[in-house]
């Protein structure tokens, strides 16, 4: 233990540093599924913009490839479509489990995109 000239210990500083590192660890692990969700929604929006030139099968292949690259669960691969004369709606639903020391959290994501054709 290091003692400062005033007689104080730097143990308090180490404790604060430990709390900050722990908070960053938890924040990163809880934010990561949300970041992947937003990336997937962005890809869905992009595919919906070009849906007039693409078939549902081509869009499904592209979205499954993106889900694989993001490490999303297999449920995210079940992409559904609704096409009308004027719009396309693309959606899916999946769940992610985040396990932290002493804490487990289930996140249910329902990405949905609608765009004009």
> pLDDT per residue over 73-88, tens digit each?
999 999 999 999 999 9
* 42 in a structural domain: yes
d(Cα 110, Cα 6) in Å, to the nearest integer? 57
Which residues form the domain of 81?
Answer: 31-116
Count the domains in the chain. 1
Indicate whether 106 belongs to any domain.
yes
Residue 68 lies in a domain: yes
57 closest CA partner among 83, 87, 38: 83
Reduced to 3 states, what is the DSSP secondary structure of residue 57? Answer: helix
Provide the Cα torsion 108, 84, 59, 37; round to 10°. Answer: -20
Interval 11-35: pLDDT, tens: 667 878 888 887 788 778 788 999 9
Residue carrying the six token digits 């849906």:
51
Is 7 a residue whose pLDDT tops 60? Answer: no
Residue 107 is assigned to a structural domain of this protein: yes
Residue with tokens 């692990």: 29
Torsion of CA 60, 40, 73, 29, to 10 degrees: 170
Residue 2 lies in a domain: no
Position 75 in a domain? yes
What is this structure's pTM? 0.79
With respect to residue 104, please indicate whether it lies within any of the assigned structural domains: yes
Q: Within its chain, how far is the Cα of 25 from the centroid? A: 16
Residue 57 included in any domain: yes
């Amino acid at each position: 233990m290091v003692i400062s000239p005033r007689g104080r210990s730097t143990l308090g500083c180490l404790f604060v540093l430990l709390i900050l590192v722990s908070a960053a660890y938890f924040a990163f692990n809880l934010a990561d599924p949300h970041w992947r969700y937003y990336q997937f929604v962005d890809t869905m929006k992009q595919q919906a913009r070009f849906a007039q030139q693409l078939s549902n099968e081509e869009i499904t292949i592209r979205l499954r490839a993106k889900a694989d690259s993001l490490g999303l669960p297999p449920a995210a691969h079940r992409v559904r479509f609704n096409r009308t004369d004027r719009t396309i709606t693309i959606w899916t639903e999946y769940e992610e489990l985040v396990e932290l020391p002493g804490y487990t959290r289930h996140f249910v994501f329902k990405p949905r995109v609608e765009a004009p054709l």
